[in-house]
Amino acid sequence: MSTSAGKETAFNAEFEKSISASDQPDWVKEIRREAFADFVEQGFPTVRDEEWKYTNVAAIAKADWTTASGIVDAGLVDLERDIFDEIGGGNRIVFVDGVFCGDISVLPEGITALHFSEAYDDEAFRENFSKIADPRKNGFTALNTAFTGEGIFLSAEKNSKVEEAVNLVFIGLSESAGFPRILYVGDTGSEAELVEHYLRVEEEAYLTNAVVEIRLADEARLVHTRVQRESHAAFHIVTSQTELGRGSVYDNTNIHLGGKLSRHDLGMGFNAEGAEGWIDGLYLVDEDQHTDTHSRIDHRIPNCVSHQTYKGILDGKSRAVFNGKVFVHEKARGTDAYQQNKNLLLSNDARVDTKPQLEIFNDDVKCAHGATVGQLEEEELFYLLSRGLNEDLARNLLTYGFAEEVINKIKVASIKKALDEAVLNRLHARLDA
């Protein structure tokens, strides 16, 4: 690792190598070149940037990253079987170090899943790729776009119902920078469920820098769950942006458990009336973990609903940042926007910086927001103790109770179980009444 500043140019050689070896069409290469130029120009964000005030990514900026080759060692396939068992379900789209791996993937049924090199001629791909998440948003979004390789393009057909949840599995394997990328387009009236699993094999210090773009056409529905269980030495940076059509419904749950440093820039935009979006999350961090969620919800047109409940549980010296912006634009009468961030501190050394933010430019709306930071209530703890539960058990139960609202949104049994365990740790075995 080098310590000089301005390491943006360190990606030059990797970028040139990647783009000259690429057989992508010129229009894709052009987007990549522009994104790289943009990355070089704006660089990695710093704490001087208002949006990154509490999250210092200098450790990422200073490191000498190599980009992943995406070649999977045959021996690793077995190692990963355990991981796949845990995920469950009949399908899995697997990325190793950010690169799609067809060999160990089992593509889902009832939905079109193309790796990008098969998708460049697809009309929906061309219309949406890099059009939903603006590469200029920040240096990471630009860098991911610049390193676009084999991402996955998912498209649900008009009025189709995809029966089984589509599993997207991102495995951090080696100490490298990975740039996974997903584009999901749900056509009119389609219904599907996506689950992103971010996992590690060992406690390696890798970088996941992902971009997830989603467009839902009129009346489309998507349940979208992200479960981030990266290495505790890893950096996890994700940009996701969802655009909603008329009457569409987006139900999103984000769980952050891993990562030394994790940052999620989450965007949702309403573009036609009658759409609804739920964006909920839980971050559970300990030791020196740092997690940051920045969300931005744009009510651009009338009569849409957005609900956001984010809960945080912090132990050790961990730190969490929550910044939620809801913009109700001038035309967006009849908006119903609700945003809440609640935090539970289990240690005196943990810290939360939370800032829910509503900006409303129309009077005919229903909006509420709030944030709390607190500790377990003495009265609640005493109640459980007075029934003979020991203190660890009592604290665990109350902590679980705090998180339960978000955890219970998760319908996939294997993830729910893993989460219950993470929250309740040793208690779990005795709670299955």
Nearer to another protein, 102 or 374 (CB): 374
Scanning residues 333 to 352, which ones bind another protein (CB under 8 A)?
A: none
- For the record, the structure tokens of 251 come out as 């139900």
Helix axes 378-385, 391-407, angle to 10 degrees: 120
How many other β-carbons are positioned within 10 Å of the β-carbon of residue 200?
21
Q: Does 410 bind another protein (CB under 8 A)?
A: no
Nearer to another protein, 367 or 385 (CB): 385
Q: Is 214 exposed, middle or buried (0-12, 13-18, 19+ CB in 10 A)?
A: buried
Q: Which stretch binds another protein (CB under 8 A): 303-311, 314-322, 352-360, 404-412?
A: 404-412
CA separation for the pair 296, 339 (Å, rounded): 11
Scanning residues 352 to 391, which ones bind another protein (CB under 8 A)?
A: 377-380, 382-391
CA atoms within 13 A on the CB side of 78: 2
Q: Which of 150, 157, 404, 421 binds another protein (CB under 8 A)?
A: 404
CA separation for the pair 170, 95 (Å, rounded): 5
Nearer to another protein, 60 or 257 (CB): 257
DSSP secondary structure letters along 391-411: HHHHHHHHHHHHHHHHHTT--
How many other β-carbons are positioned within 10 Å of the β-carbon of residue 252?
22
Q: Which of 65, 179, 278, 402 binds another protein (CB under 8 A)?
A: 402
Nearer to another protein, 63 or 384 (CB): 384
CA separation for the pair 71, 215 (Å, rounded): 30
Q: Does 286 bind another protein (CB under 8 A)?
A: no
DSSP secondary structure letters along 166-206: EEEEEEE-SSSEE--EEEEEE-TT-EEEEEEEEEESS----
CA separation for the pair 49, 140 (Å, rounded): 14
CA separation for the pair 274, 156 (Å, rounded): 21
Nearer to another protein, 66 or 390 (CB): 390
CA separation for the pair 126, 216 (Å, rounded): 16
Scanning residues 118 to 177, which ones bind another protein (CB under 8 A)?
A: none
How many other β-carbons are positioned within 10 Å of the β-carbon of residue 420?
20
Q: Which of 61, 403, 410, 422 binds another protein (CB under 8 A)?
A: 403
Nearer to another protein, 12 or 372 (CB): 372
Q: Does 401 bind another protein (CB under 8 A)?
A: yes
State the minimum distance, in angstroms, from the CB of residue 397 to another protein: 5
Q: Does 205 bind another protein (CB under 8 A)?
A: no
State the minimum distance, in angstroms, from the CB of residue 411 to another protein: 16
State the minimum distance, in angstroms, from the CB of residue 19 to another protein: 50
Scanning residues 13 to 52, which ones bind another protein (CB under 8 A)?
A: none
Q: Which stretch binds another protein (CB under 8 A): 15-23, 168-176, 306-314, 392-400?
A: 392-400
Q: Does 400 bind another protein (CB under 8 A)?
A: yes
Q: How many residues bind another protein (CB under 8 A)?
A: 30
- For the record, the structure tokens of 172 come out as 């951090």
State the minimum distance, in angstroms, from the CB of residue 283 to another protein: 17
Q: Which parts of this chain interact with another protein (CB under 8 A)? A: 377-380, 382-391, 393-394, 397-398, 400-405, 407-408, 430-433
